[in-house]
Structure 1
Amino acid sequence: MPRPTALCRRRSLAVIGAITTAIASTLSSPARADMPAKPPAAEPVRPPEVAPSPARWRVSTETDVVRLALGSLSLHVMFRPPAAPRLRLSIGRVGGALPSVFHRLFDANKGWEAREQGAVLQGFYHLRNEGSTLFVGLGARFEAWEWRRPELAGKATGQQLFVMPSVGFRWFPTQSGFFVTPWVGFGVSAWNSGAGKLGEHTYEPLRFFPIAAVHVGYEL
């Protein structure tokens, strides 16, 4: 007959073995269906996106400071459409006497004075959407001329149409809409109403009309 101490030892080992088997069985068994699933990790909160400013028409006005200083007229209104910000369309009004330096350099009709009243339609293409940029352009310039001679009374008149390519630089020196635009153009006569006559003198219409100017203006 076994001793009580040995019997107790065997019973204790049996209990420990049963407990160990139960724990191992629990750990190896699949998770119960009624146990709550682990919640998914929360996604990081993203800041709301700022909608871009809607595109809009850009409107500007400009004038030729040299012509104003000489007492002539120069006013141009320009538009840039939102769908094509590099495109600038212009309508302008010019008028006044041509400076004497123009006659000396570019007018083969000697002894004459010429005064213009003109309208200008132009289109320009900018190399950048915004800010200071180079540009190229093409325009049509219609002129109503008055031709005079200092020694004779009266005047001769005529009309003329020029096609004028141009190139220039639009410079915004500050963050405001103020800009300065030096540019040059070269007009080629496409049509004229004929020569002007005053007494025994004849004025032959210009074949070419070169221009160099500095405009200042403001864009909204």
Structure 2
Amino acid sequence: MEIEVEAMTRTTIKPSSPTPPRLRRYRLSYLDQIAPLCFIPLIFFYSKSTTSVDGPIDLTMISTHIQKSLSETLTRFYPFDGCLVNSLYIDCSNAGVPYTETRARCLVTELIADPIPSELIKLLPCGLRDIPLAIQVNFFDCGGVAVSLVVSHEVVDFSSLSTFVNSWVAAGRGDCDVLWPRLDTASLFPPTDTSGYTRATAETIKDRVVTKRFMSFH
């Protein structure tokens, strides 16, 4: 089905605590230097929640909660809040992560019943170049929500992306035992001169791609 998506707000979310000056330059590892130049998309769909301890949940409450937990998580994952510089390092300048909220004119149940990849792209943040991460939160007419993110594969693999998402979820729940990343890859795989190396891009990968989706009903 076709999706009509209208942007409501665009802003940036900064870490709840500024990154110390000594951590401003985060070096990329050799594995980062040779990673394909592409972006990893991820979308989480949530059906409408009708009740809570204090009554109905409104969109403003959801938006505020998402932004607050994201800000707290970025303090731990500070390289995500920076700008890539010549595939050598990330300038962690506390500039903030691009964050967009939209109104999606359709129902979550209809969308996930017969998903069309070309339409799902509308739910993802776009325009990424030299930034590691961007977030888009889509509010549906039915009250459902889709939280989407796009990360640079030059900085993040799926394992570290999973760690970030789980840490963000834990912050949203108010858990004290949140996940902290290991940011020492450059010491394990020191960067080197890759000026003669040509990396793969999304445009040069011509193999057929198989996609899977995971659905959980409660």
Q: TM-score range by the shorter chain?
A: under 0.3
**TM-score (normalizing by structure 1):** 0.24
**TM-score (normalizing by structure 2):** 0.24
If asked which structure has higher relative contact order (CA below 8 Å, sep 6+), I would say 2
